[in-house]
């Protein structure tokens, strides 16, 4: 395990370096001048030249790249518009996104796993039909429609929950439900398909022959062996949530990293865009590492620490 983790950590730095290079060059190829966006089109030439020199935008691209890495490694990278270190700006937004992502993932798992298991156990019954219709609706309904619908129902008509913003648990429920319901549709389909593959396995009959109860057979033996593809989907979905569900964050005015990234792109805040993408890439790598470790925990056939 130690050698595997060390190998993954060593790959972390080249991947992050490659991501930073791609983002740096692509962001400089996009049209638009951040200086004009900051000062306005009525700004005088002297002001434009002064600010362009201050932001090092008058230097050749390779020198801007060197300064970018120097500021990144020294922690001096500063947002153009916020006038603060980029990671100081990102930190509270990332925490808000992590909070929303964890809540949404809990909602999705609590809904999808029972539905997927029951759908597999009751194949081709009315319960299975209901589960497949639910999963189809979960995959098909877009968040920009489901979010306002939940606001109209639970906030405007019933008055139970706040419309938008970040506060206590009540502010978390609607955006969490919006993301969780959408994820639960796809996750329940994956759970059903994975469970159907293992329900006919001989070792389940062996477990029943030993006198184990049906609940223990299903939850301990069948579900545990069906978890590998389910964990893969959970990891991918959780990584996507941590990258910022900017549509849901926009609908509910949730101050997450997704909204921050979109605003930074529109304002041509180069350092903030680069830092946001680097943070998102790092979260994806971390989530993938945790999923790989979870494979070995739930399935005894997977041993990451074996020498190859």
Structural domain contains residue 145: yes
Q: What's the CA gap between 261 and 257, in Å, rounded? A: 6
Q: What angle do the packed helices 169-198 and 126-140 form, to 10 degrees?
A: 130
**191 domain residue, yes or no:** yes
Q: How many CA atoms lie within 13 A of 112 on its CB side?
A: 35
Residue 146 lies in a domain: yes
Residue 182 is predicted with a pLDDT of 83
Burial of 14 (0-12, 13-18, 19+ CB in 10 A): exposed
**Are the CB atoms for 100 and 179 separated by under 8 Å?**
yes
Residue-wise pLDDT tens digits, 92-124: 998 888 888 899 989 999 998 899 888 888 888
Token pair of 306 as six digits = 């074996």
**What's the pLDDT score for residue 307?**
45
Question: Which of 146-160, 204-218, 259-273 is predicted least confidently?
Answer: 204-218
Task: Please indicate, yes or no, if residue 2 is contained in any of the structural domains.
Answer: no
Within-domain flag for 305: no
pLDDT of residue 197 exceeding 60: yes
Judged by DSSP in three states, 85 sits in: strand
308 confidence band (pLDDT: 50, 70, 90): very low
> How would residue 53 be classed by pLDDT, with cut points 50, 70 and 90?
confident
CB 226 within 8 A of CB 240: no
C-alpha 20/C-alpha 140 separation (Å) is: 34
Q: How crowded is the C-beta side of 133, counted as CA atoms within 13 Å?
A: 7
Report the alpha-carbon distance of residue 89 to residue 74 in Å, rounded.
16
Query: Which residues are registered as beta bridge partners of 85?
Result: 78
Q: Is the pTM of this model over 0.85?
A: no
Residue where the block lists tokens 């943070």 = 279
Identify the band that residue 132 occupies on the pLDDT scale cut at 50, 70 and 90.
confident
Look at the chain and report how many structural domains it folds into.
Answer: 1
pLDDT of residue 49: 82
Of 279, 304, 301, 278, nearest in space to 291 by CA: 304
- Tell me which range, 89-93, 156-160, 162-166, is most confidently predicted by mean pLDDT: 89-93
- CATH number for 113: 1.10.3720.10
Token pair, residue 133, equals: 């219709």
Q: Which domain holds residue 246?
A: 95-298
Q: Establish how many alpha carbons lie within 13 A of residue 240's alpha carbon, considering only the half-sphere containing its beta carbon.
A: 15
Q: How far apart are the C-alpha atoms of 25 and 12, rounded to whole Å?
A: 20
Q: Is residue 22 part of a domain?
A: no
Q: What is the C-alpha separation between 184 and 115, in angstroms, rounded?
A: 9
Q: How far apart are CA 240 and CA 166, in angstroms?
A: 20
Question: What DSSP state is assigned to residue 213?
Answer: -
- Alpha-helical regions (H) of the chain: 2-29, 34-39, 45-54, 61-74, 86-121, 126-140, 143-150, 169-198, 202-209, 214-216, 223-225, 227-242, 246-251, 257-266, 270-298
Q: Mean pLDDT over residues 140-167, rounded? A: 84
Q: Is residue 172 part of a domain?
A: yes
Q: What angle do CA 180, 95, 285 make, to 5 degrees?
A: 75
In a domain, 199, yes or no: yes
């Amino acid at each position: 395990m130690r050698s595997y983790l060390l190998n993954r950590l060593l790959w972390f730095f080249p991947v992050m370096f490659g991501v930073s290079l791609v983002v740096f060059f692509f962001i400089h190829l996009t049209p638009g001048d951040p200086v004009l966006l900051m000062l306005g089109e009525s700004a005088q030439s002297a002001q434009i030249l002064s600010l362009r020199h201050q932001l090092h935008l008058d230097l050749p691209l390779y020198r801007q790249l060197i300064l970018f890495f120097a500021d990144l490694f020294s922690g001096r990278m500063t947002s153009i518009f916020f006038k603060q270190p980029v990671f100081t700006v990102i930190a509270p937004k990332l925490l808000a996104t992590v909070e929303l992502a964890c809540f949404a993932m809990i909602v999705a798992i609590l809904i999808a796993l029972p539905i997927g298991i029951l759908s597999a156990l009751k194949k081709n019954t009315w319960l299975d039909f209901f589960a497949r219709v639910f999963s189809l609706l979960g995959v098909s309904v877009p968040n920009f429609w489901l979010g306002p619908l939940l606001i109209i129902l639970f906030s405007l008509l019933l008055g139970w929950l706040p419309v938008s913003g970040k506060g206590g648990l009540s502010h978390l429920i609607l955006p969490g439900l919006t993301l969780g319901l959408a994820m639960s549709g796809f996750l329940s389909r994956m759970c059903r398909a994975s469970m159907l593959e293992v329900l006919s396995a001989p070792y389940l009959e062996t477990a029943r022959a030993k006198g184990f109860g049906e609940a223990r057979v299903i939850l301990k033996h069948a579900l545990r062996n069906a978890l590998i593809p389910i964990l893969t989907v959970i990891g991918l979905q959780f990584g996507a949530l941590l990258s910022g569900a900017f549509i849901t964050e926009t609908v509910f005015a949730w101050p997450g990293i997704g909204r921050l990234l979109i605003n930074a792109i529109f304002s041509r805040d180069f350092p903030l865009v680069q830092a946001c993408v680097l943070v998102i890439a790092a979260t994806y790598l971390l989530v993938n590492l945790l999923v790989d470790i979870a494979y070995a925990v739930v399935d005894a056939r997977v041993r990451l620490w074996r020498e190859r």
